[in-house]
Amino acid sequence: MQNRTTLARPYARAAYATAKATGRVEAWSQALAVAATATENSVVRNIIQDPRLVGDAVVERLMAIGGEHFDDAFQHFLSVLAHYDRLLLLTDIYAQFEMLRREAEARVYVHVVSAQPVSEAQSQALNERLKKRFGREVDLDIEVDPALIGGAIIRAGDEVIDGSVRGRIERLSRDVTL
């Protein structure tokens, strides 16, 4: 069986192409975020997986959940996903849609795990430094993990910068045991 990313890719591309062609990229992003969040709920997952419900009935329930976030074009998209039994891929579709969006907007997603909370000034300074490094606008996501002891780990795509004390200790430990 193909992995979820491979299965989600063509749907994400189709969603992005539709959103871009209609000038509604932000609206589609929000709709996908709502739908993806909904499918993470166990009750919604059970509805999607209920063999007694046909695709249209499931889509109607999802439309009720989405409310004003879902328009007719998005309903059609959900219907296609339901027809091919791909509604549970919505979280993966959303993630890939956002990757396509960031690419088109020359943006990069950067996840920072810091040992200490980061102030607004530190966050802005980090954002500026990363913008210079990557030559693109940065979508910064910061998480706090005291287990790092000190410093931070920065992930942007395949690139990882480990400036944490825990990482240094681990590298030192590997070097000493060799």
Question: What CATH number does residue 53 fall under?
Answer: 1.10.520.20
Model confidence pLDDT, tens digit, residues 58-69? 999 999 988 888
Query: 132 and 96 in one domain?
Result: no
Give me the pLDDT at residue 178, please.
64
Chain CA centroid to CA 32, Å: 10
Task: Take residue 105 and report the two structure tokens written for it.
Answer: 């907007």
Between CA 48 and CA 57 the distance in angstroms is: 9
Same-domain pairing of 35 and 85 = yes
Residues 80 and 130 in one domain: no
The residue segments making up the domain with residue 35 are: 4-102
- Same domain membership, residue 93 and residue 125: no
In this structure, what token pair is assigned to residue 165? 């004390």
Tens digits of residue pLDDT in 1-41: 468 889 999 999 999 999 999 999 999 999 999 999 999 99
Amino acid identity at 1: M
Q: What is the CATH number of the domain that holds 125?
A: 3.40.30
Per-residue pLDDT reduced to its tens digit, 152-175: 899 987 888 888 888 888 888 888
pLDDT, tens digit (0-9, with 9 covering 90-100), for 112-123: 999 899 999 999
The domain boundary residue, chosen from 59, 74, 102: 102
Q: What local confidence, expressed as pLDDT, does residue 134 receive?
A: 87
Q: Last residue of a domain, which of 58, 75, 102?
A: 102
Q: How far is residue 142's CA from residue 16's CA, in Å, rounded to a whole number?
A: 26
For the chain, helix (H) and strand (E) counts, in that order, are 8, 4
Q: Is the CB of residue 96 less than 8 Å from the CB of residue 5?
A: yes
pTM for the model stands at 0.72
| Token representation of residue 45 | 């997952």
Q: Average model confidence (pLDDT) for the chain?
A: 91
Predicted pLDDT at 161: 87
